[in-house]
Amino acid sequence: MAMRVSGMYSGMDTESIIADLVAVRQKKVDDVKKAQTKHEWKQDAWKTLNSKVYKLFSGTLENLTYQSSYAKKTTKLSNPNAATVITSDNAMKSVQSLKIDTLASAGYLTGGELKKEGVEITKDTTMGELLGLASDAKSSVNVTIGGEEKTIELTADMKLSDFAGELQKLGLNANFDEATNRIFIGASGTGKKNDFTITSDDAAVLKNLGLSTEGGAKKLDGTDAKIYLNDVMFESATNTFEINGLTITCNATTGNDAITLTTQDDTSGVYDMIKDFIKEYTALINEMDKLYNTKAKKGLEPLTDEEKEAISESEAEKIENSIKDAVLHGDSTLSAVSSAMKEIMRSGFEVGGKTMYLYDFGIGTLGYLEAADNEKNAYYINGDEDNENSSIKNKTNDLMAAISKDPTQVRDFFVKLSQSLKTKLNDLMKATDYSSTYSVYEDKKMKEEYDDYTKKIKEEEQKLADYEDKWYKKFGAMEKAMAKMQSNMNAVSSMFGGM
Average confidence score pLDDT of the chain:
91
Q: Is 12 a residue whose pLDDT tops 70? A: no
- pTM for the model stands at 0.71
Nearest 10 degrees: Cα torsion 406, 411, 416, 417: 90
**CA 334/CA 349 separation, integer angstroms:** 26
124: left (phi over 0), alpha (psi -120 to 50) or beta: alpha
Query: What pLDDT does 31 receive?
Result: 85
DSSP H helical ranges for 429-442: none
Q: Is 2 a residue whose pLDDT tops 70? A: no
* pLDDT tens per residue, range 279-317: 999 999 999 999 999 998 888 899 988 889 999 999 999
Query: What pLDDT does 242 receive?
Result: 97
Query: What pLDDT does 460 receive?
Result: 80
Which of 45-49, 249-253, 412-416, 488-492 shows the lowest mean pLDDT across its residues? 488-492
**CA 346/CA 295 separation, integer angstroms:** 27
Partners of 186 in the beta sheet?
108, 173
What is the enclosing helix (H) or strand (E) of 226?
strand 225-229
Whether residue 213 contacts residue 63, with contact meaning beta carbons closer than 8 Å, is answered with no
pLDDT classification of 487: cutoffs 50, 70, 90:
low
* pLDDT tens per residue, range 112-170: 999 988 899 999 999 999 999 999 999 999 999 988 999 999 999 999 999 999 999 99
Selection from 278, 493, 286 nearest residue 387 by Cα: 278
Selection from 488, 471, 331, 486 nearest residue 25 by Cα: 471
Q: Is 8 a residue whose pLDDT tops 50? A: no
Mean pLDDT over 243-254 rounds to 97
**CA 52/CA 61 separation, integer angstroms:** 12
Selection from 458, 471, 461 nearest residue 3 by Cα: 471
Residue 226: burial class (beta carbons within 10 Å; 0-12, 13-18, 19+): middle
Q: Is 77 a residue whose pLDDT tops 90? A: yes
Interacting residues of 237 by C-beta distance below 8 A, sequence separation 6+: 104, 189, 190, 191, 192, 193, 194, 224, 225
How large a percentage of the chain has pLDDT more than 90? 76
Q: Is 464 a residue whose pLDDT tops 80? A: no
Mean pLDDT over 27-39 rounds to 89
Sign of CA dihedral 119, 124, 130, 133: negative
* pLDDT tens per residue, range 416-459: 999 999 999 999 999 999 999 999 999 999 999 999 999 998 88
**CA 476/CA 469 separation, integer angstroms:** 10
Interacting residues of 247 by C-beta distance below 8 A, sequence separation 6+: 85, 86, 87, 88, 240, 241
